[in-house]
């Protein structure tokens, strides 16, 4: 009996030991944080990846004219090399305030403030790679009626779309830039009026497969707490606006500013203020929300995470991005262990569980003001590495 039982006990012990080692290894497998390069001038918008793994971004100041730069970071065997591609001069735009987007030919586009005329309300620009290097061109100069353009989005025909301030009612617009005979024509798709449609469109716009646009407003609606809206493309240049969800404030969230992204089953994900918990100074900690389409045509809001306390980060400072497994990633401007007032912020991950709940994980806690995350957000490469910006550095987080 003892001779027959002993091998089983050995196997059982070895199995238990293997499981324990696996659990310990998993607990220790914390993502690695690395600063790729310092970039002076103030990093307020995120970086963009090209097909070769190069990173591109803008600074709000610095450069030859202290109006900001466009830069490239190139990976190499000895680290990353920083190259300035363009110095803004204020006359052709300055203090760039939106992220960069690429077209199919490898050219990229962005927005900045300023402009040549006294009525300059900002510019949209293009960077084209030529045999002589990168060439900068102003595509369109906004007037004060439509000013302070934000991040751009491009459709399959090469038209550009974005948000701006001003408009007929002074509450913001969604506009379109169309290339025609070497020039770009601007048309306003929708004027926000401060009623159900919301006030102050903010964050990047996104397209669905039908060609409709989605975005957020930071304020407005009957609760004065902002909206998620859709612009449905009906025909030609006709667009119909609809508020998919009007935020109610408090535990339901309020003031979404960073747009939304599509996740599984056509759901929309984003971040907002408000929430059930209070953090530093008695302010609400913030939420991550999901909007799910229903069979009736309405959208159901679910708060999938209430930021809970200062130690784990609070006050989301960028929208979320989604990986292939449906996990969400984002940043907060406060919380964590850093010496900043109310903490220097964190990078976090929300992973969906089988029971419909979500697991919150802190991937990195920033430990200085110089490395505190800005509003730039994150970008994910094919290997699962995350890239983002803090006030003065570009960083990488590897799983």
- What is the reported pTM? 0.90
Give dist(CA 387, CA 55) in Å, integer: 9
Taken in order 173, 179, 180, 183, the sign of the CA dihedral is positive
Cα separations (Å) of 138 from 43, 204, 391? Answer: 22, 20, 27
Instruction: Report in angstroms the alpha-carbon separations of 190 from 165, 197, 200, 263.
Output: 12, 10, 12, 26
Question: Under 8 Å CB-to-CB from 84, ≥6 apart: which residues?
Answer: 63, 69, 70, 71
User: Within 10 A of 175 (CB to CB), how many other CB atoms are there?
Assistant: 20
Look at residue 10 in the predicted model and tell me its pLDDT.
38
Give the per-residue pLDDT at 223. Answer: 82
Which residue, among 131, 68, 59, 76, has the nearest Cα to 94 in the 3D structure? 68
Q: Tokens for 285?
A: 């900690």
User: Which pLDDT score is estimated for 208?
Assistant: 96
**Residue 229 to residue 213: CA distance in whole angstroms:** 8
CA distances (Å), 10 to each of 3, 4, 7, 15, 152, in order? 12, 11, 5, 9, 63
| Cα separation, 331 vs 109, whole angstroms | 24
Q: What pLDDT is recorded for position 124?
A: 96
Give the CA radius of gyration of the chain.
23
Q: Are 390 and 371 in contact (CB under 8 A)?
A: yes
Which pLDDT tens digits describe the chain residue by residue (399 residues)?
444 433 433 334 434 434 443 333 344 467 999 999 999 999 999 999 999 999 999 999 999 999 999 999 999 999 999 999 999 999 999 999 888 999 999 999 999 998 876 566 899 999 999 999 999 999 999 987 888 999 999 999 999 999 999 999 999 999 999 999 889 999 999 999 877 678 999 999 999 999 999 999 999 888 889 999 999 998 877 899 999 999 998 888 999 999 999 998 899 999 999 999 999 888 899 999 999 999 999 999 999 999 998 889 999 999 999 999 999 999 999 998 878 888 889 999 999 999 999 999 999 999 877 677 666 789 999 999 999 999 899 999 998
* DSSP helix/strand/coil, 21: helix
Q: How many CB atoms lie within 10 A of CB 194?
A: 17
């Amino acid at each position: 009996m003892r001779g027959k039982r002993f091998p089983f006990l050995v196997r059982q012990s070895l199995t238990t030991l293997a499981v324990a080692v696996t659990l310990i290894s998993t607990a220790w497998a914390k993502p690695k944080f690395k600063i790729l390069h310092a970039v002076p001038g103030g990093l307020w918008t995120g970086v963009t990846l090209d097909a070769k793994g190069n990173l591109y971004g803008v600074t709000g100041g610095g450069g030859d004219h202290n109006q900001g730069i466009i830069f490239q970071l190139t990976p190499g065997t000895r680290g990353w090399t920083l190259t300035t591609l363009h110095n803004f001069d204020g006359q052709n735009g300055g203090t760039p305030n939106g992220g960069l987007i690429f077209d199919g030919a490898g050219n990229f586009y962005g927005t900045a403030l300023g402009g040549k005329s006294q009525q300059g309300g900002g510019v949209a620009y293009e960077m084209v790679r030529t045999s002589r290097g990168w060439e900068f061109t102003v595509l369109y100069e906004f007037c004060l009626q439509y000013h302070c353009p934000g991040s751009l989005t491009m459709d399959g025909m090469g038209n550009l779309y974005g948000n701006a301030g001003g408009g007929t009612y002074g509450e913001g617009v969604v506009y379109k830039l169309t290339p025609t005979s070497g020039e770009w024509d601007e048309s306003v798709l929708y004027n926000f009026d401060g009623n159900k449609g919301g006030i102050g469109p903010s964050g990047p716009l996104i397209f669905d497969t039908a060609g409709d646009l989605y975005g957020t407003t930071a304020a407005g609606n009957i609760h004065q707490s902002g909206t998620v809206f859709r612009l449905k493309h009906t025909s030609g240049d006709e667009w119909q606006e609809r508020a998919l969800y009007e935020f109610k404030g408090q535990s339901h969230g309020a003031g979404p500013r960073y747009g939304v992204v599509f996740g599984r089953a056509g759901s929309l994900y984003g971040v907002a203020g408000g929430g059930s918990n209070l953090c530093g100074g008695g302010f609400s900690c913030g939420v991550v929300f999901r909007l799910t389409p229903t069979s009736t045509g309405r959208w159901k809001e679910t708060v999938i995470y209430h930021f809970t306390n200062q130690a784990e980060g609070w006050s989301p400072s960028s929208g979320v991005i989604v990986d292939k497994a449906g996990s969400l990633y984002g940043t907060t401007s406060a919380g964590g262990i850093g010496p900043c007032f109310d903490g220097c912020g964190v990078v976090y991950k929300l992973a969906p569980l089988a029971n419909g709940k979500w697991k919150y994980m802190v991937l990195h806690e920033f430990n200085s003001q110089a490395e505190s995350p800005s509003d730039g957000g994150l970008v994910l490469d094919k290997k699962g590495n995350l890239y983002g910006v803090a006030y003065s550095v570009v960083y990488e987080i590897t799983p």
